[in-house]
Structure 1
């Protein structure tokens, strides 16, 4: 049996842009994606701390070390620049894999930069 387990998250980043007239997704600084182990096009859950919205979309790579967090398309209606969000990824694992799994949690600074 497979279980869907919390894989990683980028905890409390600030939305920098919301682009309604875009195909869809969330653009995330490439350095943050790498630190969290989130792949481009991977499904992610977005939790908005400001308004309680929870949505699912997919990640696209933004320019490295810019701090970009941009909700695109319909997702842009769920957050505004300045909102604080959490970006979460999950993975399917066997129960044995899940028992040994340690999630990756990234705590960016106030400019959405990876903290060493």
Structure 2
């Protein structure tokens, strides 16, 4: 069986609220944002920094719901700055048959990382 890697969930343009170099690692994300994007605690995530072009992966951990927390921790903290804008993405392995009907969960936030809307298609430019 052929499996394809498709975008499963995305947090679009979230703002880094904390940078914790001495923390064990990971990225703490407000749990309401995780749920909205369908990302589980300890799931691998990819972070794309809009401000500096850095792209790296780590895993998600839950921060309090409604807090707007996006805390990049451990070694990854060296790749971002407080206030940077990130795109956080998670991917799923999907069979070729499932791919035709697969829809990602796309979460768009305001400047305080509060959910503004959730969609399933990236609008055309």
- Calculate the TM-score normalised by the size of structure 2: 0.90
User: Where does residue 9 of structure 1 map in the other structure?
Assistant: 10
RMSD: 0.8
Q: Is it true that 1:50 corresponds to 2:51 in the alignment?
A: yes
Alignment: residue pair count: 116
Secondary structure of 2:115's counterpart equals coil
Shift of 1:115: 2.0
* Superposed counterparts of 1:77-88, under 5 Å: 77-88=78-89
1:48-85 per-residue CA deviation (whole Å, 9 max, x = no partner) reads 00000000000000011010000000010010111000
CA distance in 2, matches of 1:6, 1:19: 27
CA distance in 1, matches of 2:15, 2:42: 21
* Superposed counterparts of 1:18-37, under 5 Å: 18-37=19-38
User: Where does residue 68 of structure 1 map in the other structure?
Assistant: 69
Runs of 4+ with >3 A deviation: none
Q: Give 5+ residue unaligned stretches, structure 2.
A: 118-125
Shift of 1:98: 1.3
Secondary structure of 1:45's counterpart equals strand
Secondary structure of 1:115's counterpart equals strand
Greater relative CO, 1 or 2 (CA 8 Å, sep 6+): 1
User: Where does residue 90 of structure 2 map in the other structure?
Assistant: 89
CA distance in 1, matches of 2:28, 2:56: 14
Secondary structure of 1:33's counterpart equals helix
Shift of 1:99: 1.4
